[in-house]
Amino acid sequence: MLLASSNFLVPNLTFVVELAAFLLVLGALAKYVLPVINRTMEQRQATIRQALTDAEEAKRRAAEAEEEYKRAISEARSQARSVVDEAGRLAEQMRAEKRQQADQEYEHIIARARVDIDAQMRRATEELRQQAADLAISVVEKVLGEGLDEATHRNLIDRTITEVEARSRPAGVTT
Amino acid sequence: MTMLNAAGMLAVNIPIGQHVTGKLFGFTLNLDTIWNTVVAGAIVLGLGFYLRSRVTAGVPGKLQLFWEFVIGSVGDQVENSLGPRYRRAVPLAVTLFVFILVADWLEILPGLFHNTDYSPAPTADVNLTYAMAILVFLVTNAEAIRAKGFGRYLKHFFRKPRLLVPINILEELLKPLTLSLRLFGNLFSGGIMIALLISFPIAFFPASIAFTVIWKLFDMFIGVIQAFIFALLTILYYEFAIKEGEH
């Protein structure tokens, strides 16, 4: 082993060996190692980018789905509301119709009752008049004795009753 | 041989610039530097090819994270200052960083040769730092000529004011010198510090051990910084080379 010392700032043949060694390392790394690492780095970046894109896409889809869901819900709500409104309207209409019907029926019944009452009143009046005539004849017979000819005096009596009726009733009302 | 009187009464003999040498065609070879360069190169290539065999696009391991961190940082730096066209500068800068880092860190290992306390980092020998700096010089100037054409490249040195023409030329020539001597000086002095701490008298043995450990840890930090600076300056020189004259 030769130990030697010289000016340590002056290079010697070692320089060439060192240069060659460094170039060798540089060449080997540049040709075989660095491209591979670069490629995997790019692949990983691509993977990450893809994952990010996918995530973005998934987020967008989720947002769309939510939007769609909200839209469906609000549509369903508005439909339900319109159904309820329609039902209310129908109910109101039916109620009005029923009321109208009832009113008509009421009028009808009233009218019929009035007709009935009139008829009965007329009949009662007629009966009353008959009875009054009979009563009057029988009274007159009792007063004058047996000499009253019913057929002869019936006219007279009827006329008398009619006059009485006309006097006792206000003018213009006929029943 | 330099005698260093380190601390007054502690006369210690610290070898400066001493190498295990051999001769080839009458020229001197620093065998220890070459051996440590081979070790550093083997470690770098070993780490690189080991990773290559198990590289994954999925979840990366620690080694892959380290490589990806270096390549990513250098790549970002290159793209930001040079633009995507100059991605070809990335392998050089990455190799410089990793290789210098490993070479620097060899200093924490015990040595094999005349010095058993530490392996002198190959970066503590100007032969390696000159080699790398001159390579950077050649590459950046070649890129400059390629980007501007030879005429504009030359004109750049002879731009006005004329008085500064020698300075311009000197500046360009000094770039590799400062680049190499900065790295060399830091690592070389780191080695001297270790030698100095180790050479404490036997009475200070525990302190010597403690300080050596602390210093070696600090030296590792310096190693990272220097590797980073070398790679960063390479990219900056690249940038100057292709952009000078544009403004």
Cβ proximity of A5 and B18 under 8 Å: yes
Report the alpha-carbon distance of residue A11 to residue A3 in Å, rounded.
16
What's the pTM? 0.67
Q: Encode A52-90: b = buried (16+ Cβ within 10 Å), e = exposed.
A: eeeeeeeeeeeeeeeeeeeeeeeeeeeeeeeeeeeeeee
Task: Find the CB nearest B127 among A5, A11, A34.
Answer: A11
The answer for residues whose C-beta is within 8 angstroms of residue B212's C-beta and 6 or more apart is B117, B194, B197, B198
φ, ψ dihedrals at B43, nearest 5°:
-65, -45
How high is the pLDDT of residue A79? Answer: 95
Report the alpha-carbon distance of residue A157 to residue B58 in Å, rounded.
135
Q: Say yes or no for a CB contact (<8 Å) between A2 and B52.
A: no
H/E run at residue B113:
none
How high is the pLDDT of residue B9? Answer: 45
How high is the pLDDT of residue A2? Answer: 56
- pLDDT tens-place values along chain B, 247 residues long: 344 444 444 455 666 667 777 677 877 777 777 888 888 888 888 988 888 888 777 777 788 888 888 888 888 888 888 877 777 888 888 888 999 998 888 877 766 555 556 667 888 888 888 888 999 999 988 888 888 888 888 887 787 777 888 888 888 888 888 988 888 888 888 878 877 777 776 777 777 778 878 888 888 888 899 889 998 898 888 888 887 655 4
The answer for residues whose C-beta is within 8 angstroms of residue B100's C-beta and 6 or more apart is B123, B132, B183, B223, B226, B227, B230, B231
Nearest Cα to B45, choosing from A26, A17, A36?
A26
Report the alpha-carbon distance of residue B76 to residue B85 in Å, rounded.
13
Report the alpha-carbon distance of residue B86 to residue B95 in Å, rounded.
16
* Model pLDDT for residues A92-113, shown as the tens digit of each residue: 999 999 999 999 999 999 999 9
Is the ipTM value over 0.95, yes or no?
A: no
Q: Which residue of B has its CA nearest to A19?
A: B131
Q: Which residue of B has its CA nearest to A10?
A: B126
B38 touches chain A (CB under 8 A): yes
Q: Which of A15, A16, A45 to mutate to test the interface with B (most CBs of B within 10 A)?
A: A15
Higher-confidence position of A147 and A8: A8
Q: For residue B139, give Cα distances in angstroms to A132, B110, B157, B172, B241.
A: 155, 35, 18, 13, 10
* Model pLDDT for residues A117-175, shown as the tens digit of each residue: 999 999 998 888 888 888 887 877 777 765 666 666 777 777 777 887 787 665 544 54
